[in-house]
Structure 1
Amino acid sequence: MKLFYKPGACSLASHIALRESGLDFTLQGVDLQKKRLENGEDYLQINPKGQVPALLLDDEILLTEGVAIMQYIADRVPDRQLLAPVGTIARYQTLEWLNYVATELHKGFTPLFRPDTPEDYKPIARAQLEKKLHYIDESLKEKQWLSGHRFTIADGYLFTVLRWAWAVKLDMTGYSNIEAWMKHVAARPSVAAALAAEGV
């Protein structure tokens, strides 16, 4: 398998999932502005969406969209318990978090990264994110992991997106549960290896 990624972007969550899985994979960096691979190849010929992550499977099928990719990886290695079995409440709690991170948090950061976002909208976007951060901080109170007693793909995704809070200089004082949880996740060998490989 080959993961197309940009260092520190949302593709980091899929990268972490791959490292957790123990499956064989390679990495291919993408310049998202130029839509080119490191060797100059046109990325749009591989992924017409022009976004990361994308996962090229060994049979040449391309999967896109991080949440789908992470679920695929987790389902390939059920013994790793990155996603609980079908029919269990633990699975749906993990999916609940995946959806929350994707729709409420991930998309909430987008205006703060885009150069064409009007300056007068940025404080509104920040205020909306702060409400989400408060909810997450409360949810992490006295918890090691988001859903259940094990690291899941939802933890990798939330970790990836929360890293952006410091990148856009959100005030993270007062979110002690988030701070402790981020350190806890960062200490996992798979996470440390993914961060090192991406140079972030």
Structure 2
Amino acid sequence: MKLYYSPGACSLAAHIVARECGIPIALEKVDLATKRTQSGVDFFSINPKGNVPTLELDDGTILTEGPAILQFLADSAPEAELAPAHESMARYRLQEWLAFINSDVHKSYSPLFNPATPAEVRAERQAALGKYYAWLEEILTPQAWLLGNHFSAADAYLFTVTNWAPHVGVDLSHLPALTAFQQRVASRPHVRAALVAEGLVGG
């Protein structure tokens, strides 16, 4: 399989999950400004939406959208237990978390990366993220992970988007449980390996 990614973008979550699951994947970096892959291919010819992550399966099938890719990878290695069993309530909780992170947290960050975003929109999105993270602080205070005591694909996704906070002026220093969560994820060997591979930390 091949993962099309951009360093530190939301594709990092899929990269982490693949490594946590022991799934060998080739990495192809995408320049999101030019929409060209590292090998010089027009990325739109691979994914017409032009977004990472994009996963190319061994048979050439293309899978897009982060939550779908995270679930696919986790289900490809059930022994890693990054996704609960099908039809269990825990499975629906995973989907609930992935949907929340994708539609609320992730999308609140998007306008903050755009220098053309008006100040009032920027302030509104920062306030929204403040509320989301205050709630997540309550969730993570009594438990290590979003689903309780076991690391899941949702934790990889939350870690990835929360890493963007210092780059867009979102202060999380007053949230000790969330800060500890970020440190806990970052200390996992497979997570560190993904960060090193993407050039986000030193080897």
TM bucket by the smaller chain?
over 0.9
Note the alpha carbon deviations across 1:28-85, whole angstroms, 9 max, x for none: 0000110001122111111111110000000000000010001001111111111010
Q: Which runs of 4+ in 1 moved over 2 A?
A: none
Partner of 2:157: 157
Q: Aligned partners of 2:73 and 2:40: how far apart in 1?
A: 28
SS in 1 for 2:165: helix
1:61 lines up with 2:66 in the alignment: no
Q: Which amino acid aligns with 2:43?
A: Y
Partner of 2:9: 9
TM-score (norm 1): 0.97
Partner of 1:22: 22
What's the CA shift for 1:174? 1.2
SS in 1 for 2:4: strand
% identical aligned pairs: 46
Note the alpha carbon deviations across 1:109-161, whole angstroms, 9 max, x for none: 01101122112321111111101110111110121111032110000000001
Partner of 2:180: 180
Partner of 2:167: 167
Q: Aligned partners of 1:55 and 1:42: how far apart in 2?
A: 15
Q: Aligned partners of 2:136 and 2:148: how far apart in 1?
A: 15
Q: Aligned partners of 1:141 and 1:189: how far apart in 2?
A: 23
What's the CA shift for 1:170? 1.2
SS in 2 for 1:3: strand
Q: Aligned partners of 1:174 and 1:137: how far apart in 2?
A: 10
What's the CA shift for 1:183? 0.6
Which segment drifts farther, 5-14 or 169-178? Answer: 169-178
Contact 1:36 1:43 in 2 (8 A): yes
Q: Which amino acid aligns with 2:184?
A: H
Contact 1:90 1:148 in 2 (8 A): no
Q: Aligned partners of 1:159 and 1:36: how far apart in 2?
A: 27
Q: Aligned partners of 1:142 and 1:197: how far apart in 2?
A: 32
Q: Aligned partners of 2:35 and 2:144: how far apart in 1?
A: 38
SS in 1 for 2:99: helix
Q: Aligned partners of 1:46 and 1:87: how far apart in 2?
A: 32
Contact 1:85 1:91 in 2 (8 A): yes
